[in-house]
Chains A and B, each alone.
Chain A
Amino acid sequence: EPEVTQTPSHQVTQMGQEVILRCVPISNHLYFYWYRQILGQKVEFLVSFYNNEISEKSEIFDDQFSVERPDGSNFTLKIRSTKLEDSAMYFCASSGALLPRGLYNEQFFGPGTRLTVL
């Protein structure tokens, strides 16, 4: 069964360093997402991406964040200068083509990357 994969599973970095989190969405999906979950808290939407553009982003997704689909298979989240409060689990998700209401295609989540900022 196709699945979303994420690498690495755990990333440790120093405050101020840049990190890139990688995701391989399900191959025929067109919509891609990043969410984060600070330990013990709820899952928070960061950004959605379609047709090489950001579709929606939250207030969390400020200028230090960026997303990219550098090739036909990967979807990345870059954090330019990490802060302690960026420590969280980051989930990638993907979904297929959006259809008329009632035929919504669900988002499939990856296993997450745990980012620890020291």
Chain B
Amino acid sequence: AQSVTQPDIHITVSEGASLELRCNYSYGATPYLFWYVQSPGQGLQLLLKYFSGDTLVQGIKGFEAEFKRSQSSFNLRKPSVHWSDAAEYFCAVDDTGGFKTIFGAGTRLFVKA
């Protein structure tokens, strides 16, 4: 069955430290891949997306993600975390050509001073 796994329910990092949020998917082919961020009480904001081509994609707010086909992974990274990055992060995939997006369970990021 198709699935998206975010193995970390929550992560705490110090401000200024680097961040990596993990995402693994289970699909037959390479789906469209996304990372969204949700601040408390807010909607979903797209950070970045991967469709094809360069496996390292750049997004907004200094985030990047790397697609690794061999590992079926699409991990999100940021070299230096800011306190304002504290939020819930969702990995998502779509293999229907745009008709259905499946979200992972999310990883809540806490940033400590």
Residues of chain A whose beta carbon lies under 8 Å from any beta carbon of chain B: 31, 33, 35, 41-45, 48, 50, 55-56, 58, 91, 95, 98, 101-107, 109-112
Contacts and interface: CB of A to CB of B under 8 A. Distances in A.
Given A42-B106, A91-B43, A112-B43, A107 B53 contact: no
Contacts of B90: 42-43
Give the one of B36, B51, B98 with max A CB within 10 A.
Answer: B98
B56 interface: no
A35 B90 CA distance: 14
Q: Which of the four size classes fits the interface of chain B?
A: 20 to 34
A102 B51 contact: yes
Given A31-B98, A42-B105, A109 B44 contact: yes
Contacts of B80: none
Interface of B: 32, 34, 36, 42-46, 49, 51-53, 90, 92, 96-106
Contacts of A58: 100
Contacts of A112: 43
A42 B96 CA distance: 20
Contacts of B42: 111
A111 B103 CA distance: 17
B43 A42 contact: no
21 contacts: A31-B99, A35-B101, A43-B44, A44-B103, A45-B102, A45-B103, A55-B99, A56-B100, A91-B44, A101-B97, A102-B51, A102-B53, A103-B51, A104-B97, A104-B98, A106-B34, A106-B49, A107-B46, A107-B98, A109-B36, A109-B43
B98 A95 contact: yes
